[in-house]
A and B are shown apart, each in its own frame.
Chain A
């Protein structure tokens, strides 16, 4: 018995030491990412002063873009979304809405709003997809194409859109998202400047809850009334302005948000489009692009552009948020599993040696270590391995560091883009950064651990949860 307690104490002590080391390594990684992100954002601001965003609008060399909108039961906001997309400032683009077996009035509403009629468009499934039932086209605006197909999931709908894309670039966007009017101009700029190098770009996704939306455009930026959505504003800023900007700077960006990303059509077709057996199809596509390009030894770049903004609706209930976050984490696990051959493989350069291992160690397994760390620290205190002052100091540092990352992301936002014009909103974001550390973060970690369990279970692979949509027009 005595020996057993000693070995348990030894194990708890060792595990606590591991958690401490893990925590220190993670913080160092985040600080270095922050450094790269800060440089990237500063660079972007300075570069903005040297460029004229409207220049592309006048250029005959601007590549055409096919905007693909996968839609499943999106009647709440689809008409506003499409109207907003058709109003984008860009010289040449088409919009393809793919109704993925919608059972509500999604297509009917579109038909009425845009004078859609059946069109004998030939559908060639270069990338295999579920059955396409009919293709409609707008009499009023030849840029709009609507496809009705059997349900096959978001990735399948995107692939259908890619099959129908006429333009050089494809832009995937969520049906409930709203793009800033010049978002395409800004996100396509890298393709124009370096046409041989850039294969994909992603913009920043922001939370639209609390913003005033008029005729499919964000007319006034504000913070949501819901605390849960408010916390997500901080989360999104941190994810995009710190992580994506940082990884992009070292050309190891692994995720371009499914809500808004632009890719070269030929490259996407070459790799067979989106993978349909994963819920993380957006990240998986980007990792597969890295995999493909590096395997062939081609020069390329997938880049994050911080100023094109895509506004999206954030979940305002814990249930919906839990479904979304478990899905995201399951998606992450699936990406890692599908591309495990790249892990720590020098053939894949920074992606294989740095970005993917970091993703596994700190993103995928991070919540597991965080939660088990809480239990281990508690056990250490109970067994007398750890003193109370140590425990308090450690918890305090962990929380403060999370807060530091969030506040620094706000500082990056303030120094570069400054989309929240009121000082009150800025103060609100600081408060949300604090609240996030007290309960939300731990809950989020628990959901992600749950998602890891789901990822191991075949029943959940490739399955999407439902997202209750209020429709962005109702926010504000």
Chain B
């Protein structure tokens, strides 16, 4: 028994010594490579900034004469960093440089790497580059990659590139449960108005979460065909079987609707679910639909405090602070208005 225990102790001691040695060795090695990397980044930073900020299409000589893989990697890191922060001509210039110097090709090739984290990192990098040459490869990754993380990275990257071709496949991956709702919606949001047909389509899927998130996203994207979109949101706000979706549709109407949404919001204010009534009250306040004031005023007595508060805010916005009328929620809303927060 004692021998067994001694063996266990010896094994543990060796393990501790090994871990401690790895700890220190790794720290020293990391410090050395970080110093080298920082030096390279500093060496090329000014040239990349100059290239990013000046209209001159020609990249500085320093960027055209990269000798080692490390130099190339450092410039790639800087280009990725700045490409994420600039838009328009500057971004196009950086993207063209990255295409010409085969940075995009290298990352596309990395999408076939064995390790999933390398594939995911490549997808992220391609999103930062913003080159539409990467769209097909990213779509393939979104559709076929076995790793959920890589698919998520590809979904995000497609959004950042903002190519309309991404909308359909992102929606398909979302519906199939191959892309988490938040990532898919954000991706479509990043694609912007071209993604609207996909978002409209998502409003009719069987999954409650997808429909709700799609309605929310439409509220931020805006509309192509105004009547069609408002009509769709109106239908969802009134007739969707899930309260979550009805509430999200009301919120979206509050963001992009107008006086024509009055009928729908009036119906939503009578919803059995508090979340929907609250969203309708908020929407009325945002859209300032005067004709709904009497209905909203009645909602101030709703037994659910969040609904009463939303209704009171709407009433105060529509009729002024003097209409507080002793209702505590209206007094609160009037104070908010007075403090300049409405």
Taking Cβ atoms with an 8 Å cutoff, the residues of A that contact B are 46-47, 49-52, 55, 59-61, 119-122, 124, 126, 137, 139, 142, 191-196, 387, 389-390, 393-394, 396-397, 400-401, 403-404, 407-408, 410-411, 414-415, 418, 423, 426, 430
Q: A119-B332, A390-B5, A400-B12 are in contact. List 9 more A-B contacts (CB 8 A).
A: A46-B116, A46-B120, A50-B121, A50-B153, A59-B186, A61-B216, A119-B335, A193-B180, A393-B6
> Do A423 and B24 have beta carbons less than 8 Å apart?
yes
> Chain B, 126-168, contact with A by CB distance < 8 Å: what is the 0/1 string?
0010000000000000000000011011001000000000000
Among B15-23, B52-60, B229-237, B290-298, the stretch that binds chain A is: B15-23
Whose C-beta in chain B lies nearest to the C-beta of A434?
Answer: B16
| Given A60-B220, A61-B186: A404 in contact with B15 (beta carbons within 8 A) | yes
Contacts of B181 in A (CB 8 A): 194-196
**Are A411 and B189 in contact, CB atoms less than 8 angstroms apart?**
no
Q: Which of these, A49, A193, A393, contacts B9 with CB under 8 Å?
A: A393
19 contacts between A and B (CB under 8 A): A46-B116, A49-B120, A55-B186, A59-B186, A122-B309, A191-B182, A192-B182, A192-B183, A193-B182, A194-B182, A195-B213, A393-B6, A393-B9, A397-B5, A400-B16, A410-B19, A423-B24, A423-B28, A426-B23
Contact A122–B328 (Cβ < 8 Å): yes
B19 contacts A407, C-beta separation under 8 Å: yes
Partner of B117, one of A50, A122, A396, A423: A50
A65 CA to B96 CA in the complex, in Å? 40
Interface string of B1-19 (1 = CB under 8 A from A): 1100110110011011001
Determine the chain B residues whose CB is within 8 A of the CB of A418 once the complex forms.
Answer: 30
Partner of A404, one of B16, B31, B84: B16
Q: Is the CB of B27 within 8 A of A423?
A: yes
Partner of A414 from B27, B123, B305, B332 at Cβ < 8 Å: B27
Inter-chain CA distance A191–B172, complex, in Å, is 22
Contact across chains for A407 and B20 when beta carbons are under 8 A apart: yes
Q: Tell whether A195 pairs with B209 under 8 Å between CB atoms, given A394-B5, A404-B12, A415-B26.
A: yes
CB distance from A462 to the nearest CB of B (A): 28
| A397→B30 CA distance, assembly (Å) | 33
Can you list, as one digit per residue, whether each of B105-129 has a CB less than 8 Å from chain A (1) or not (0)? 0000000000011001101100010
The answer to whether A121 touches B180, judged by C-beta atoms less than 8 angstroms apart, is: no
B residues in contact with A193, CB < 8 Å: 152, 180, 182-183
Taking CB atoms, residues of chain B closer than 8 Å to A137 are 339
B331 sits at the interface (CB 8 A)? yes
| A residues near B185, Cβ cutoff 8 Å | 61
Q: Are A61 and B152 within 8 A (Cβ)?
A: no
Interface check B51, CB cutoff 8 A: no
Beta-carbon contact of A426 and B120 below 8 Å: no
Q: Is the CB of B2 within 8 A of A389?
A: yes
Residues of A within 8 Å of B220, CB to CB, are 60-61
B255 to chain A, nearest CB (A): 9
A372 CB, min distance to chain B CBs, angstroms: 20
CB pair B209 A196 closer than 8 Å: yes
A411 touches B23 (CB 8 A): yes
Return B201 CB to nearest CB of chain A, in Å. Answer: 18
B174 at the interface (CB under 8 A from A): no
A121 to chain B, nearest CB (A): 6
Tell me, rounded to whole Å, the shortest Cβ–Cβ distance linking B184 to chain A.
10
Contact at A397–B217, with CB atoms within 8 Å? no
5 A-B pairs with least C-beta separation: A46-B117, A50-B120, A124-B305, A192-B182, A50-B153
With A120-B335, A389-B2, A393-B6 already in contact, the answer to whether A50 and B22 are too (CB < 8 A) is no
Q: A49 touches which one: B15, B30, B121, B186 (CB < 8 A)?
A: B121
Could you tell me the dominant secondary structure of chain B's interface residues? Answer: helix
| Pair A194/B180 contact, Cβ less than 8 Å | yes
Closest A residue, CB atoms, query B275: A266
Task: Give the complex CA separation of A387 and B183 in angstroms.
Answer: 63
Query: Which of B296-336 touch A at CB < 8 Å?
Result: 305, 309, 328-329, 331-332, 335
Taking a contact as CB atoms under 8 Å apart, the answer to whether A407 and B216 are in contact is no
Number of residues from B at the complex interface, CB < 8 A: 54
Q: Are B117 and A411 in contact (CB under 8 A)?
A: no
Q: Given A61-B182, A61-B189, A393-B2, verify A50-B23 contact (CB < 8 Å).
A: no
- Counting residue pairs across A and B whose Cβ atoms lie within 8 Å, the total is 127
Docked Cα-Cα span, A423 to B186, in Å, equals: 41
- Whether the Cβ atoms of B328 and A120 lie closer than 8 Å is yes
Chain B positions 177 through 206: 1 when the CB is less than 8 Å from some CB of chain A, otherwise 0 = 000111101100100000000000000000
A139 in contact with B339 (CB, 8 Å): yes
Q: Is the CB of B19 within 8 A of A61?
A: no
Residues of A within 8 A of B22 (CB): 411
Residues of B within 8 A of A396 (CB): 9
Taken together as a complex, chains A and B put the C-alpha atoms of A396 and B152 apart, in Å, by 48
Which B residues are CB-close (under 8 A) to A394?
Answer: 5
CB distance from A455 to the nearest CB of B (A): 33
**Complex Cα–Cα for A124 and B329 (A):** 11
- Complex Cα distance, B189 from A186, in Å, reads 21
Q: Which residues of A contact B5 (CB under 8 A)?
A: 390, 393-394, 397
The residues of B that contact A404 with a CB separation of less than 8 Å are 12, 15-16, 19
Q: Which residues on A sit within 8 Å (CB–CB) of B30?
A: 418
Chain B, Cβ-Cβ closest to A27 = B8
Using known A-B contacts A60-B220, A137-B339, A426-B27, determine if residue A195 contacts B12 with beta carbons closer than 8 Å: no
Closest to B209 in A: A196
Of all chain A residues, the one with the shortest Cβ separation from B22 is A411
- A407 CA to B6 CA in the complex, in Å? 20
Contacts of B12 in A (CB 8 A): 397, 400-401, 403-404
- B26–A387 CB distance below 8 A: no
* Complex contact A60–B24 (CB within 8 A): no
**Which residue of chain A lies nearest to B153 when distances are taken between CB atoms in the complex?**
A50
Residue of B nearest to A396 (CB): B9
- Chain A residues whose CB sits within 8 angstroms of the CB of B124 once the complex forms: 49-52
Q: How far is the CA of A51 from the CA of B124 in the complex (A)?
A: 7
B305 touches A126 (CB 8 A): yes
Q: Which of A50, A194, A387, A407 has the most CB of B within 10 A?
A: A50
* B332–A121 touching, CB < 8 Å: yes
Minimal Cβ-Cβ distance residue in B for A56: B186
Of chain B, the residue at the smallest CB distance from A125 is B305
Of A119, A390, A414, the most chain B CB neighbours within 10 A belong to A414
Q: Are A400 and B9 in contact (CB under 8 A)?
A: yes
In this complex, what residue of A is CB-closest to B150?
A50
From A55, A120, A194, A426, contact of B156 by CB (8 A)? A55
Measured CA separation A126–B120 after assembly (Å): 45
Q: Is B2 in contact with A407, judged by CB distance below 8 angstroms?
A: no
Residues of B within 8 A of A423 (CB): 24, 27-28, 31
A331 to B258, CA, bound (A): 54
Q: What's the nearest-Cβ distance from chain B to residue A122, in Å?
A: 5
Complexed CA–CA distance, A411 and B21 (Å): 10
Query: Contact between B335 and A390 (Cβ–Cβ < 8 Å)?
Result: no
Q: How far is the CA of A390 from the CA of B186 in the complex (A)?
A: 62
Chain B min CB distance to A241 (Å): 13
Interface centre among A121, A408, A415 (most CB of B within 10 A): A121
